[in-house]
Amino acid sequence: MKKKSASFFTTPAIAFEGPQSANALAFKHYNPAEIIDGKTMAEHMRFSIAYWHAFRGTGSDPFGPGTIIRPWEAGKDPVAVALKRMDAAFEFFTKIGAPFWCFHDRDIAPEGKSLAESNKILDKVVAHAKELQKATGVKLLWGTANLFSNPRFMCGAATNPDAHVFAYAAAQIKKALEVTLELGGENYVFWGGREGYETLLNTNLKREQAHLAAMLRMAADYAKEIGFKGQFLIEPKPKEPTTHQYDFDCATCIGFLRTYGLEKIFKFNIETNHATLAGHTFQHEIEVAAAAGMLGSIDANTGNLLLGWDTDQFNTDVKELTLAMTSIIKAGGLGTGGFNFDAKLRRPSVDADDLFHAHIGGMDAYALAFKIARKILAEGKFEQFVKERYSSFDTGFGKEIETKKTNFRELEKVALSLGEPTLKSGKQEYLENLLNTYLHG
Ligand code: XUL
Ligand code: CO
């Protein structure tokens, strides 16, 4: 990193020290320089820091204000603070060794009194971010627009019943696309914010969904016009803030995108906590996206399954991540996507080094899961089991079902001649034990 006069963190740069290290501020499993299959672990993992949690999160919750005090927040001029905060962020990205970052427009720059003024402030902060990217080599994984915090978006942005708000949101996305392009963003994310509803007493669901599709179509047209070649990603979430979010889960979004002919433009940014809020596992959402050829990127976090809301915690559950990683590797990886830590510190985690512990834990857990998943896939025991389980569809009438060469009359003949099918065990307990041998020896 280019020498800065002020340093905001006393924690030194985090190094890989291996599993035997007793140093809590070191990586045990994530060795960014380790080469696997001709690529470094840094290239495989493509870790990213979420600006909104790491640099705008204060620990506040609905019951009380923030607890976390950061030195870079001191100062009266919000634009000067935004620039200083950006310095702190890039110091952190560099020290933790994250090759990427992600942001919402309003995370990095305060809003002005008008849209024009907001755009001007944003340009100023983006110019600074561009310099810091150049100085550090840290790149932008994705940008997005915050279309949910400002009161004007209280009833949604693209799905707002007021066309004026729709136009405002369109203008904000337009600008966010421009600055994402300016910073070389490899993707652009659409999380549904308040695109949903509380009650059908005041809502025209069909019109709102058509408006959402119109917004996405115009965004794609504009991206093409300005030469933005990054991948468009939809981030599904079933609820919160609205009761019924339109982008419920991957399956719902696939139906929506196909209805409006948008399926070739989008892939998915899958967030673990959103998957579980939808009543799915993280791996389920990955498999649904991958089956449609739409696996794009990951918002790496987890929820608290005892609670019904989006707690955005750092994920250290190696078993869950190993299962997810097997599906990601089998799908051919994330392409231009990465693992973005859309995760926040707990309210009492007020020390400066807590931000390091949190990200070290997440990065180590993902790296370990990646290695275990590769071993599982290299040995192929689960894949072989699944292959054999479906082998009756590889030949004969099974193959004819898959190749659409049979019909009910033919299959009735088969059933009459073969009689009762024999019961074949699904072997779930055996497979769960087998999984544990990879996790725990
Ligand atoms: C909200 C959420 C967002 C998106 C980006 O639950 O995950 O931070 O990732 O808008
Ligand atoms: Co997210």
- pLDDT digits over 400-412, tens only? 999 999 999 999 9
What is the mean pLDDT of the segment spanning 300-308? 96
* Cα–ligand 1 centroid distance for 232 (angstroms): 15
Q: In the predicted model, is pLDDT for residue 99 greater than 60?
A: yes
- Residue 152: DSSP 8-state: G
Write the residue with the smallest CA distance to atom 2 of ligand 1: 191
pLDDT of residue 5: 59
Residue 355 Cα to ligand 1 middle (Å): 19
Residues whose CB is less than 8 angstroms from the CB of residue 367 and which lie 6 or more positions away in sequence, other chains included: 27, 29, 30, 31, 41, 45
CA atoms of 12 and 228, how far apart (whole Å): 37
Q: What percentage of the chain reaches a pLDDT higher than 70?
A: 99
Q: Does residue 280 carry a catalytic annotation? A: no
Among the options 87, 107, 299, 310, which is catalytic? Answer: 107
Span from the CA of 299 to the centroid of ligand 2 (angstroms): 5
Is residue 383 over pLDDT 90? Answer: yes
Q: Ligand 2 centre and the CA of 281: distance in Å?
A: 16
Q: Are 156 and 201 in contact (CB under 8 A)?
A: no
Residue 47 has pLDDT above 70, yes or no: yes
For residue 240, which atom of ligand 1 is closest to its CA? Answer: 6
Rounded CA-CA distance 243/197 in Å is 6
* Ligand 1 cavity residues, CB under 6 Å: 104, 144, 189, 191, 235, 237, 271, 299, 310, 342
Average pLDDT over residues 35-43: 98
Select from 214, 195, 215 the least CA-distant residue to 205.
195
Instruction: For residue 155, give the amino acid letter.
Output: C
Query: Does the annotation count 351 as an active-site position?
Result: no
- Mean pLDDT, the chain, rounded, equals 97
Which residue, by CA, sits nearest to atom 5 of ligand 1? 191
pLDDT digits (tens, 9 = 90+) for 189-248: 999 999 999 999 999 999 999 999 999 999 999 999 999 999 999 999 999 999 999 999
Strand, coil or helix: 394: coil
Q: Which two tokens stand for residue 430?
A: 């055996």
- Quote the pLDDT of residue 6: 75
What residues contact residue 398 under an 8 Å CB cut-off, 6+ apart?
392
CB 232 within 8 A of CB 179: no
Would you call the peptide bond into 241 cis, given omega within 30 degrees of 0 as the criterion? yes
For residue 339, give the 3-state DSSP assignment. Answer: strand
Closest protein CA for atom 3 of ligand 1: 191
Q: Please, which pLDDT band fits residue 52 given cuts at 50, 70 and 90?
A: very high
Of the residues 44, 53, 104, 284, only one is catalytic, namely 104
Beta bridge partners of 62: none
Q: Note the pLDDT of residue 3.
A: 53
Tens-digit pLDDT profile for residues 141-181? 999 999 999 999 999 999 999 999 999 999 999 999 999 99
Does the pLDDT value for residue 423 go beyond 70? yes
Beta strand 187-191 with 231-235 is: parallel
What pLDDT, on the 0 to 100 scale, is given for residue 190? 99
Q: Is the pLDDT score of 4 beyond 60?
A: no
- Secondary structure element (H or E) that encloses residue 191, with its range: strand 187-191
Indicate the angle between helix axes 428-440 and 318-330, nearest 10 degrees.
100
The yes-or-no verdict on residue 312 having pLDDT over 70 is yes
Assess contact for 338 and 48: CB atoms under 8 A: yes
Q: Is the pLDDT of residue 89 over 80?
A: yes
What does the pLDDT look like over 362-377, one tens digit per residue?
A: 999 999 999 999 999 9
